[in-house]
Amino acid sequence: MKDHRGSPSQPRPRTLLPMWSQREVIDYALQRRSTLQALRRPGRRLARQEACDADPMLIRAAKHHGEPSSIDCPVCESDELVNLQYVFGDQLGQYSGRIKRTTELEEMAHEFGEFKVVVVEVCPACGWNHMILSYLLGDGVKRKPPRRQQTVEDIYG
């Protein structure tokens, strides 16, 4: 692997920031490596269209909400590779399934008892996307979900 400066680098840490309450970490590096090997293998078992199949909404989210990755795209070698962090959990209420920045996760870890973070890498240039990491955050104190607030979708359908 090479970083943006082009020099060989140590294996990159899979977490974007060490979080004080991070637990149950699942690293999908082996799955990712297997997919990339299937893509590059002679007599390909995986077509590029199948590996680079990001939904247009995922690409749009990557362009507007993605945090730059420390590596280049493993398929097209573009430096546009970004990470998206989705949060899920019963205690999040209507906010479950949203994209959050790394800085917001630290605050959320103190506000909620437990929620899952799923990190997806996306290349807007070629459409490569892969879940690279998932983990739990939270302070362990069980809470009720926040009260549901009316959204634009509720008003205008």
Listed by start position, the domains of the chain span 23-38+45-141
83 SS3 class: strand
Looking at residue 155, its pLDDT comes to 80
The pLDDT score that the predictor gives to residue 67 is: 97
Q: What is the DSSP letter of 71?
A: S
Q: Are 137 and 29 spatial neighbours (Cβ–Cβ below 8 Å)? A: no
Q: Does 2 have pLDDT greater than 70? A: no
Does residue 117 register a pLDDT over 70? yes
* Distance separating the N- and C-terminal Cα atoms of the chain: 47
- Res 40: pLDDT: 87
What average pLDDT does the chain have?
A: 85
- pLDDT over threshold 80, residue 107: yes
- Mean pLDDT, residues 26-38: 94
* pLDDT interval class at 16 (50, 70, 90): low
Asked if 141 contacts 110 with a C-beta cutoff of 8 angstroms, the reply is no
Sign of CA dihedral 139, 143, 149, 153: positive
Q: Is the pLDDT of residue 27 over 90?
A: yes
Per cent of the chain over pLDDT 90 is 60
pLDDT at 45: 75
In this prediction, residue 15 carries a pLDDT of: 46
* CA nearest to 122, candidates 130, 110, 114: 130
Average pLDDT (26-53) is 88
